[in-house]
Amino acid sequence: MSDEMKKKPYVVPIGPIHPALKEPVQFLFEMEGEVVKKADFAPGQTHRGIEWMGMRRNPVQIVHLTDRICGICGVTHSLSFARAVEQIVDIEVPARADYIRVIIAELERIQSHLLWAGVAAHELGFDTLFYLAWRVREDSLDVIENITGNRINYGLVQIGGVRRDITPEQHPVIHKCLDGYRDLLGKMLNLFLHDTTISIRCKDTGKLSFEEALHLCTVGPTARASGVVKDVRVDYPYAAYGDLDITPILPSAYGGEINGDVYDRIVVRLLEIEQSIGIIETCLKEMPEGGIIWEPKLPKLLAACKKAHGEAIGRHEAPRGECTHYVAMDGNEAPAMWKVKASSYSNLHSWIPMLEGEQLADVPIIVASIDPCLSCTDRVAVVRGNSSDLLTKEDLHRLSVEKTRRIQGC
């Protein structure tokens, strides 16, 4: 082998479909020995055209279509979309519906974080812990099923409120599940944070500094693990979050310093489960009486949506971070524009500083540590004729400039 070839880094592609990744995304690593020198990734492998479908349907239809954007965040997208439409149509959501929305959103956070904890343990090769995390996750799914009727695609949120009330008979079921989690949490913290294997693999792995987290606009637990105090529930309270006393959870809450590594992301997520339990208990106690929907008659709701003009952004703190839906309506049945920005979209870019300088064996856990959800994220695959290509920011900018010139006629 010549010296020239020895010096050249070799490229390891991982994905789009790879057993180490739980979602389809392609990585390209320039390696030097075992160390990742340069990392790059290509999302856009699971585009499904759900916005295209939405723009041919009325808001009452879309609200249940949004459930299908993500398999885990069943309420995130429908809540963000409903909040956007409610702002356009000028709907006031009843207070009780706001509380029910918060309860279901926090139950979703519990199940999503437990799912992530299981996946993280699996990526470390610690499958017994993965089985335990997923077994205890079932309790929250059972409660969600009891409240909404389905395990995953809840179909609970409707524009102007929620479709199902939480009856007094359901309170003991929810409390029983929450008490179970409260007892279990000490055990989970012990199993995850005091295990030597997990500490060795996760501490100082996949570091994201405070500055990088801030500059890359990361959101949710990924940002908070790096010490960025950022939480939509606190910064821009919506639904019933304004009535609640919550503070964003930083890894320092468990003692110790903020490193922004994988270990800190485990700490933040596990402590957020505890926070969610508290929020649900407060909501159940303080839930006001009254209606649960602005307009129970769907034809009237459809008529109100059809008349509306305007644009709005609905946002929600999903388990993975801030999720926004932009909706514009122009007096037609279908919205003129609907754009989804899932939380993982903001977090994906933090992979590059995290992965560079790490070993190849640490790639799966670092990739999983931001809890990526790519089928939510993929939005810009373009298929024209027989060729398909991805539009980059530069391409979109160029297209935008061309269109402006075309309109101006020069």
Partner 1 sequence: MALPMIREIFTQLFRTPATNQFPARHLPKSVTEFLKKVGSGEARMIPPVATPPAFRGKIQYDRDGCIGCKLCLKVCPAHAIEFIPETKRVRIYVASCIFCGQCNDICPKHVLTMSDEFLLATEDRFAENQIVE
CB closer to partner 1 out of 186 and 242: 186
Supply the minimum distance, in Å, between the C-beta of residue 31 and partner 1: 31
Asked if residue 302 lies in contact with residue 60, where contact means CB atoms within 8 angstroms, the answer is yes
Task: Compute the distance between CA of residue 191 and CA of residue 185 in angstroms, rounded to an integer.
Answer: 10
Exposed/middle/buried for residue 351 (C-beta within 10 Å: 0-12, 13-18, 19+): buried
Question: How many of the chain's residues bind partner 1 (CB under 8 A)?
Answer: 34
> Distance (Å, rounded) from C-alpha 165 to C-alpha 162?
7
**Using CA atoms, how far apart are residues 80 and 314, in angstroms rounded to an integer?**
5
Question: Residue for token digits 């821009």?
Answer: 236
Minimum gap (Å) between residue 60 Cβ and partner 1? 5
Min dist. Cβ of residue 130 to partner 1 (A): 11
Q: What minimum distance in Å lies between the beta carbon of 78 and partner 1?
A: 10
The kind and range of the H/E element at 339 are strand 337-341
Give the interface segment with partner 1, choosing from 92-100, 175-183, 190-198, 334-342 (CB under 8 A): 190-198
123 is a site residue for partner 1 (CB under 8 A)? no
Give the Cα separation of 338 and 58 in Å (integer).
Answer: 11
Q: Give least dist CB 50 to partner 1, A.
A: 11
Residue 94 DSSP symbol: P
The conformation of residue 9, written as its DSSP 8-state character, comes to: P
Using the contact rule CB under 8 A, the part of the chain among 53-61, 252-260, 324-332, 402-410 near partner 1 is 53-61
Binding status of residue 68 toward partner 1 by CB under 8 A: yes
Q: Is 64 in the site for partner 1 (CB under 8 A)?
A: yes
Residue 74 or 353: which CB sits closer to partner 1?
74
Of 20, 31, 55, 60, the one binding partner 1 by CB under 8 A? 60
Segment near partner 1 (CB under 8 A); pick from 21-29, 185-193, 238-246, 371-379: 185-193
Report the run of H or E that residue 210 belongs to, with start and end.
Answer: helix 210-215
Q: Is the peptide bond before 16 cis (omega within 30 degrees of 0)?
A: yes
Nearer to partner 1, 58 or 209 (CB): 58
Q: How far apart (Å, rounded) are the C-alpha atoms in residues 275 and 94?
A: 25
43: which 2 tokens?
């999302």
What is the footprint of partner 1 within residues 233-292 (CB under 8 A)? none
Cα–Cα nearest to 59, from 95, 84, 91? 84
If the CB atoms of residues 329 and 354 are measured against partner 1, the closer one turns out to be 329
| Interaction of residue 376 with partner 1, rule CB under 8 A | no
Any contact of residue 181 with partner 1 (CB under 8 A)?
A: no
67 binds partner 1 (CB under 8 A): yes
Looking at the Cβ atoms of 187 and 309, the one nearer to partner 1 is 187
Sheet of 35-42: strands edge to edge? 10-14, 26-32, 35-42
Site string for partner 1, 193-232 (x = CB under 8 A): -xxxx-----------------------------------
Distance between start and end Cα atoms, the chain: 57
325 binds partner 1 (CB under 8 A): no
Site string for partner 1, 124-153 (x = CB under 8 A): --x-xx--x--x--x---x--xx--xx--x
Q: How far apart are CA 236 and CA 210, in angstroms?
A: 22
Exposure pattern of 66-81 as b/e (b: 16+ CB <10 Å)? bbbbbebbbbbbbbbb
- The CA R_g of the chain, rounded to the nearest whole Å, is 22
Q: Which is nearer to partner 1, 74 or 227 (CB)?
A: 74
Residue 162: its H or E element: strand 161-162
Is residue 302 a contact point for partner 1 (CB under 8 A)?
Answer: yes
Among 58, 175, 180, 246, binds partner 1 (CB under 8 A): 58
What distance in Å separates the CA atoms of residue 378 and residue 304, rounded to the nearest whole number? 32
User: Contact between 299 and partner 1 (CB under 8 A)?
Assistant: yes
**Nearest distance from C-beta of residue 398 to partner 1, angstroms:** 36
User: Residue numbers of the site for partner 1 (CB under 8 A)?
Assistant: 57-58, 60-62, 64-65, 67-68, 126, 128-129, 132, 135, 138, 142, 145-146, 149-150, 153, 155, 163-164, 187, 190-191, 194-197, 298-299, 302
